[in-house]
Structure 1
């Protein structure tokens, strides 16, 4: 099992993996979520990515999110305590070999949900931005091959520049409340 950063060429199977997981996730919530969306690089045709399916689930409030944790764990997801963002839960599913297969981000912050979707949609619709992001990811994967947190952190400025340029919300972090 490794948390090494290794990018793979785009694979259409990623969209099928999200579609297969969708109904299982939906069933984990007493009241249907506001949205369940495939996000991240695996949701963008043509974009290299770590082969991990990122899924965003938008719920009305954190209480509903927390109530869903046992059902999500029954699907094989492990809850990862996330102390940075009180409006988000993060759960990770691993394959039988221990490698990550899915990340579920359960959000109650509509601005953060909008930010993710705006960025995904821009990458899907703008080849130049997608190519620039692919180049950045490749450089960061090389530079931070063994440091997943640094790899993710160093993509934030690019993401913010795209989202803010579209009139979207800035990412809320401990440094940008």
Structure 2
């Protein structure tokens, strides 16, 4: 795919570079959810909570909750900037990490739907060796651009088998959210032996493509409504939140040509990994 940055992407990168990030604290995502906002004098510029806060307020004792924001039309250009960065990293690393595609997935890739302020990115590879080279590139990268934080590797693919998961977490009330949200990068080897990974690739693409299709606006509205309702609730973790969307995701996948049996397999793969993680954690 072409990853030449558009003028919009370059402008977004310039905006990021214009901010002084040297004093910006970058803690990991906290559980339970963050406490009171820091005092304004901690920042060079006063923080702007509405950029980060969920549509719905949550009690301090919430274990885990989803921050849902209305669709932001700049998310696509922000993806382009991140895509260009990843392309440069993977093609200039030693060894290089040739990839098949870098794709925008998840709700931020679907115009008109509410979403967590997090850019989800799928990177596919033609071999396990190329995937391993990408893992090395991300693990050894020295950030030279905002937000100057490294990608964090999430153990066991973040609970999803067949993939490697990397995230950049940002401060809860950082002005950085005015420029770009968090991001998640999923690396998957698109090879026959990675059955679980191929199921995830197909799922990511089907959900995105079905909900982008104007003929499926009914499902778009239903999915948006479900997300907004779930944003009012507290969960144990992100996997429990994802499982709460299984019903509407099943409708989307059926509309996209999946069989009931294929959807059952997709759900079983995720839940099996989830159960293993919980058992090992205790």
Normalized against structure 1, the TM-score is what?
Answer: 0.85
Greater Cα offset, 110-119 or 82-91: 82-91
Q: Hey, what does 1:50 align to over in structure 2? A: 116
Alignment gaps of 5+ in structure 2: 1-28, 34-63, 91-95, 144-149, 175-180, 190-196, 274-282
Aligned residues: 177
Quick one: distance in 2 between partners of 1:149 and 1:113? 18
Quick one: distance in 1 between partners of 2:72 and 2:121? 16
Whether contact under 8 Å (1:5, 1:146) holds in the other structure is no
Question: Residue 12 in 1 paired to residue 73 in 2?
Answer: yes
How far is the alpha carbon of 1:72 from its aligned partner?
Answer: 1.9
How far is the alpha carbon of 1:158 from its aligned partner?
Answer: 2.0
Q: Pick from 176, 180, 184 the counterpart of residue 103 of structure 1.
A: 184
> SS of the residue aligned with 2:185?
strand
> SS of the residue aligned with 1:102?
strand
Q: Pick from 19, 34, 39 the counterpart of residue 105 of structure 2.
A: 39
Q: Hey, what does 2:254 align to over in structure 1? A: 164
Q: Hey, what does 2:192 align to over in structure 1? A: none
Quick one: distance in 2 between partners of 1:9 and 1:165? 25
Quick one: distance in 2 between partners of 1:60 and 1:98? 39
Q: Pick from 124, 130, 145 the counterpart of residue 64 of structure 1.
A: 130
Q: Structure 1 runs of 4+ off > 6 angstroms?
A: none
How far is the alpha carbon of 1:144 from its aligned partner?
Answer: 2.7
Q: Hey, what does 1:141 align to over in structure 2? A: 231
Q: Deviations over 1:69-106 (max 9, x none)?
A: 23224252111012644420010012355887001111
Q: Deviations over 1:144-164 (max 9, x none)?
A: 367433211211332133213
Normalized against structure 2, the TM-score is what?
Answer: 0.56
Q: Hey, what does 1:116 align to over in structure 2? A: 204
Which protein is richer in strand relative to its size? Answer: 1
Alignment gaps of 5+ in structure 1: none
> SS of the residue aligned with 1:87?
coil
Q: Hey, what does 1:28 align to over in structure 2? A: 89
Residue 147 to residue 85, structure 1, CA distance change in 2 (3 Å): closer
Question: Residue 81 in 1 paired to residue 150 in 2?
Answer: no
Whose radius of gyration is greater, 1 or 2?
2
